[in-house]
A and B are shown apart, each in its own frame.
Chain A
Amino acid sequence: AQSVTQLDSHVSVSEGTPVLLRCNYSSSYSPSLFWYVQHPNKGLQLLLKYTSAATLVKGINGFEAEFKKSETSFHLTKPSAHMSDAAEYFCVVSDPGNTPLVFGKGTRLSVIA
């Protein structure tokens, strides 16, 4: 069965500095991987997804993630944090076929002015 581990429950960065949110996954197959963002009192929004095409995936709002099979990682990065990036971020894995999404426990990103 697939699983996801988000290595940090809370990350705090200064505005304008890089963001790194770490995610490791476990899957028996070639998984699909996603990052979703949840702003306070809002639903979840897809940031980006990896589905076995290019290993470097670009998403919305300047975020990107790199799929590293050898390290079973899918870390999320952004070169320069903005105040509006403060939110909860979820790394998600899904095996091929009709399997449900499996969510990590989330990483809360705080951005300090």
Chain B
Amino acid sequence: DSGVTQTPKHLITATGQRVTLRCSPRSGDLSVYWYQQSLDQGLQFLIQYYNGEERAKGNILERFSAQQFPDLHSELNLSSLELGDSALYFCASSVEAGGYIEQFFGPGTRLTVL
């Protein structure tokens, strides 16, 4: 158990809908990262927050957005969902924001868009 929690574990929804994925980092970790894992794209970095501020952006679609709240939990919002958005979404956290820092991954949220 990494100490990172993600809810829900599974989410099934329809095209065009909007969903929110939630992540609670390890106690004391200030940095939160979101990743998408799909069969065709592999594991891709989406976005990073550090102590409430956006720190880095990866291959995140405009339909997707995220935020980190004062209690350091983070939410990833996915809107106007398409079939291709079906994937495993991971959250990770680390104490600091450096590239050399180990990231601890949550168990993921499996999103299925029908």
Contact = CB atoms under 8 A, between A and B. Distances in A.
Interface of A: 32, 34, 36, 42-46, 49, 51, 90, 94-106
Contacts of A105: 42
Contacts, number: 60
A98 B43 contact: no
Interface string B41-53: 0111100101000
Contact of A44 (B44, B58, B90): B90
Interface in B11-69: 33, 42-45, 48, 50, 55-56, 58
B99 A45 contact: no
Contacts of B97: 98
13 contacts: A36-B105, A43-B90, A44-B90, A49-B100, A94-B100, A98-B50, A98-B55, A99-B99, A100-B56, A100-B58, A100-B99, A103-B43, A105-B42
Query: Is chain A's interface secondary structure helix, strand, loop, or mixed overall?
Result: loop
A96 B48 contact: no
Name the residue among B43, B45, B97, B108 with the largest chain A CB count within 10 angstroms: B43
Nearest to B99: A94
A5 B62 CA distance: 28
B99 A96 contact: yes
A16 B44 CA distance: 34
